Amino acid sequence: MIGIFDSGLGGLTIMKELLATLPSYQLLYLGDTARTPYGNRSQAVIYDFTVQAVDYLFKQNCRLVIVACNTASAQALKKLQQEWLPQNYPDRTVLGVVRPLAEVAARQSKLGRVGVVGTRSTVDSNTYVRELTTQKASLKVYQQACPLLVPLIEEGWLKRPETMKILRTYLRPLKRQNIDTLILGCTHYPIIYASFVKVMGKNVSVLDSGKIVAEKLTDYLKRHPEVEANIVKGDNHRFLVTDINENFHAVAKPFLNREIKLEKVILS
């Protein structure tokens, strides 16, 4: 199986594209809904939570796990890949979402002015800045923390005027910088992708992170047949959460356009 981990429901934006792009692979989603959001937590806590989640998914027979949470990718992924994984699961794979988005943004930005929105933790980590400038040193990167968006999306306030007003406020500084490409550095944000596009206007390319990650994973599996051969195929997709709440189901069902059954699990 392919595991998808997020702090809440944001990883569904990745799962939706994987269901469309790689329909033969069995997916196991894990949302840490009891402890979301991660964006205002310390790096040490985020790392511990991420290790617990990835370990749980591996024990459920996932051979490959996508850390779909940008905050966890920014604050925990490198240490997890370099230290924890070789010691505990040397035959498994963990991938993140930061590098795929940075690669595409660096390649397609014509003006060399890239904006990044994310949680406060992701922005403070400067992970996107480092990754983008590694891809192309001349890039100018402008970041904006949007701490209120994840709670609003988790609450299901997707089309409320309050959400749009807050979004406009957050994006105003980036528009002033004349960026031509915007990275949604949180997997929750594509759930309101159309709102980002509307606010930024026709001169800014808002990257579709779900599609990009799905395309990059497809390419990765082609390049690593030894990994692909061990992934279980099938359509018995499961949805695990650390706390069952109606908001998750209310957002997930129409977004994925399918019936889902939530299973509660405990991470430790």
The one catalytic residue among 95, 186, 204, 231: 186
Looking only at the bridges linking them, the beta strands covering 262-264 and 93-95 are: unpaired
CA distance 63 to 130: 29
Contact 197, 225 (CB under 8 A): no
The one catalytic residue among 9, 19, 54, 69: 69
Residue 146 appears among annotated catalytic residues:
no
CA distance 187 to 266: 23
Name the nearest CA neighbour of 132 among 110, 101, 111.
Answer: 101
Contact 45, 22 (CB under 8 A): no
Name the nearest CA neighbour of 171 among 204, 124, 220.
Answer: 204
Q: Which residues are catalytic?
A: 69, 186
